[in-house]
Amino acid sequence: MHQAPILITGASQRIGLHCAERLLEDGFPVIVTYRRERDSIDRLRALGAQALQADFSDETGITTFISALKQQTDCLRAIVHNASEWRPDTPGQEAEAFRQLFQVHMLAPYLINLHCAELLRHGGPADIVHIGDDVTRKGSKKHIAYAASKAGLDNLTLSFAASLAPAIKVNGIAPALIQFNPDDDAEYRRKALAKSALGIEPGAEVIYQSLRYLLDNPYVTGTTLTVNGGRHLI
């Protein structure tokens, strides 16, 4: 019997890319989604990943992806919802920003979980993991819609964990600052690091470690792992 693949959405960069690379290194078959072609997707293909283009910004794009996925595989070991959008509450564009963030962070996981749960019901270990954000712990003055949509994803973790048990475990990971962007200046980095008790830029490997914990532990569901370096202590 062939090994069921792990699906990671939004795997062309940063956390999603790192987790896809590490899963492939550890011998897991992987299917990734991407919005735009990047060199990183070619690298993943060269490592053995299957790659599907997907646009989760509207319902049609989500349902088109679900159909394409079911043509690609008849089973999954796990679904990792990593696809994300980052938009501020720009004056005059608030409604559009909210709609798009809702589609990517909530509607896409909701529909994919509902319509692809059958791919996870194969009698072996099965997981859904939602990659959220530590910002949901207290909200955001400047990114209200973003924080609200990620909080909705946290609640989907609880509801799907209850509805899909015991066959499928459903958990979340809520990262805070994991890695800087190359153009972040020294002052920004200093202020950002000071917001956590541990004061480090840990890198994406800590999210892979969290993902593997959730995949490997058979007795955890309905839980969100906070990976924030102790920000709640400051």
Residue-wise pLDDT tens digits, 18-64: 999 999 999 999 999 999 999 999 999 999 999 999 999 999 999 99
Range 201-217 average pLDDT: 98
Tell me the two tokens of residue 185.
């200046």
Looking at residue 208, its pLDDT comes to: 98
pLDDT surpassing 90 at residue 115: yes
- Known catalytic residue at 110: no
Average pLDDT, the chain: 96
Q: Would you say residue 2 has pLDDT above 90?
A: no
Question: Is CATH 3.40.50.720 what the domain over 4-225 is classified as, yes or no?
Answer: yes
The pLDDT value recorded for residue 206 is 98
Q: pLDDT by residue (tens digit) across 123-180?
A: 999 999 999 999 999 999 989 999 999 999 999 999 999 999 999 999 999 999 999 9
The contacts of residue 72 (CB under 8 Å, 6+ apart) are: 31, 50, 52
pLDDT at 231: 95
Instruction: Return the pLDDT at 88.
Output: 87
Catalytic residue among 146, 188, 213, 219: 146
Sort 60 into a burial class: Cβ within 10 Å, 0-12 / 13-18 / 19+: exposed
The more confidently predicted of residues 183 and 18 is 18
Q: Please give the Cα distance from 216 to 182 (Å, whole number).
A: 33
The full set of domain ranges for the chain reads 4-225
Q: Taking 60 as the threshold, does the pLDDT of residue 1 lie above it?
A: no
